[in-house]
Amino acid sequence: MVKINENFLSMEKNYLFIDIAKKVKAFTEAHPDKPLIRMGIGDVTLPLAPVVVEAIKKAADEMGVKETFRGYEDSGAGYDFLREAIADYYKSFGVSLNIADIRVNDGAKSDCGNITDIFGDGNTVLVTDPAYPVYVDSNVMAGRKIIYADSNEANGFAAMPDSSVHADIIYLCSPNNPTGSVYTKEQLAAWVDYALINEAVIIFDSAYEAFISDASLPRSIYAVPGAKKCAIEMCSLSKTAGFTGTRCGYTVIPEELTVKASDGSDVSLAQIWGRRQGSKFNGVSYPIQRGAEAVFTPEGQRQTREAIDYYRKNARLMADTLTELGINFTGGINSPYVWLKCPNNMGSWEFFDYLLDNIQVVGTPGEGFGKNGAGWFRLTAFNTYENTEEAMNRLKKLLG
């Protein structure tokens, strides 16, 4: 008889956003006359930059011509033209990467989950709480022991390592989803030190690095000395360049990152990750990689920055509104997320219902991201400016 992976039985039946969608659907059916303003799901709304669309079209044309048609990409790690463009992009904020250390993928979510394949099940996994759900879910599926580092009001939702606790794999995300907090270089250095002492590996998710406007904040963990010996970095064009429906990202595993196998030999994580990908992943389509390459051209950067600035303006408006209302929050400055404390000691699902029922604004209950999210709430800056403005006006009327 077939046996299922029973680790799935210990998981919540639905992914957080499915529960939210159900509540929203029920409300819309009951009140078709009350249009909603959606500030819940972290999906972008602005179209791809024209330079990206042009590059994808041109590459699609090449695929229709015998001489320029391409089948499987040889390495499966991404075409050199894109990996070189990514390495140049990193140079622009002072980080030097070997092209061989970069592997292109179909977005950060797959790699955040799939990277667990290269680690043994006996590892202790440390996740900051609250966190993007994939880190916990993919390790629960593998039956691994998970411990948490608390991100809370007291530490500005920037969990720090506890030297009395041992972990083998550490997930960090900065700028953080859901809290919008950003680690300083000193804070990241403390995590790198902890990882080196514990012979642990950090999986650093920098999916929102492009939202950092403060030049003193690190956009890559490799801005910290020693990080190449202990950290894997995952990034994505989803939020940087509107690729949520186009799908392209990349993972960096430096050649310096080696771990000891049980026989004492040194194993390169990049090598075994390449082996894993070679067996289970056949690469990203040529037209999409050309589109991604276009993001990193000067014109691509100018055009994609426009979209980021637009979202930033929304985030700023949300932050200013909360300041005006005297509501405590993090994020909103170097992040598209605003993470706010539910007023009047409301629970986060209670506040979700309160906003839905009274002002038809949809956000995300903090509890869905971990226990420290209880009593907190996430709003995203990815709507239009007009809708964001309208939502903030409604919020002021409701809570002012």
Which residues sit at the interface with ligand PLP, rule CB under 6 A?
Answer: 42, 107-109, 112, 132, 173, 177, 205, 207, 236, 238, 244, 249
Question: What token pair was written down for 38?
Answer: 């959606």
Of 132 and 352, which CB lies nearer to ligand PLP in the complex structure? 132
Contacting residues for 190 by C-beta, under 8 A, at least 6 apart: 160, 161
Least distance in angstroms from the C-beta of 336 to ligand PLP: 9
Of 198 and 238, which CB lies nearer to ligand PLP in the complex structure? 238
Least distance in angstroms from the C-beta of 132 to ligand PLP: 4
How many angstroms separate the CA atoms of 146 and 134, rounded? 13
Residue 86 main-chain phi, psi, to 5 deg: -65, -45
Of 181 and 198, which CB lies nearer to ligand PLP in the complex structure? 181
| DSSP three-state, residue 287 | helix
Of 119 and 132, which CB lies nearer to ligand PLP in the complex structure? 132
Least distance in angstroms from the C-beta of 212 to ligand PLP: 14
Least distance in angstroms from the C-beta of 383 to ligand PLP: 15
Least distance in angstroms from the C-beta of 183 to ligand PLP: 13
Q: Own/partner pairs for 113-122, CB < 8 Å, 24+ apart?
A: 113/137, 113/138, 114/138, 114/276, 114/280, 114/281, 115/203, 115/232, 115/234, 115/251, 115/273, 116/141, 116/142, 116/144, 117/276, 117/280, 118/269, 118/272, 118/273, 118/276, 119/168, 119/169, 119/201
Of 198 and 233, which CB lies nearer to ligand PLP in the complex structure? 233
* DSSP assignment letter at 48: P
Residue with tokens 């070679």: 278
Least distance in angstroms from the C-beta of 398 to ligand PLP: 28
Of 107 and 363, which CB lies nearer to ligand PLP in the complex structure? 107
How many angstroms separate the CA atoms of 223 and 325, rounded? 37
> Residue 383: how many CA atoms within 13 Å on its side-chain side?
23
How many angstroms separate the CA atoms of 202 and 74, rounded? 29
Of 114 and 244, which CB lies nearer to ligand PLP in the complex structure? 244
Q: Which residues pair with 16 in a beta bridge?
A: none
Least distance in angstroms from the C-beta of 204 to ligand PLP: 11
**Contact assessment for residue 69 and residue 62, using Cβ atoms and an 8 Å cutoff:** yes
* DSSP assignment letter at 49: P
Contacting residues for 34 by C-beta, under 8 A, at least 6 apart: 27, 360
Least distance in angstroms from the C-beta of 138 to ligand PLP: 12
Of 85 and 112, which CB lies nearer to ligand PLP in the complex structure? 112
Of 108 and 188, which CB lies nearer to ligand PLP in the complex structure? 108
Question: What token pair was written down for 284?
Answer: 């990203």
| DSSP three-state, residue 12 | coil
Of 132 and 339, which CB lies nearer to ligand PLP in the complex structure? 132
- CA gyration radius, the chain: 21
How many angstroms separate the CA atoms of 377 and 365, rounded? 5
Least distance in angstroms from the C-beta of 29 to ligand PLP: 27
Least distance in angstroms from the C-beta of 90 to ligand PLP: 17
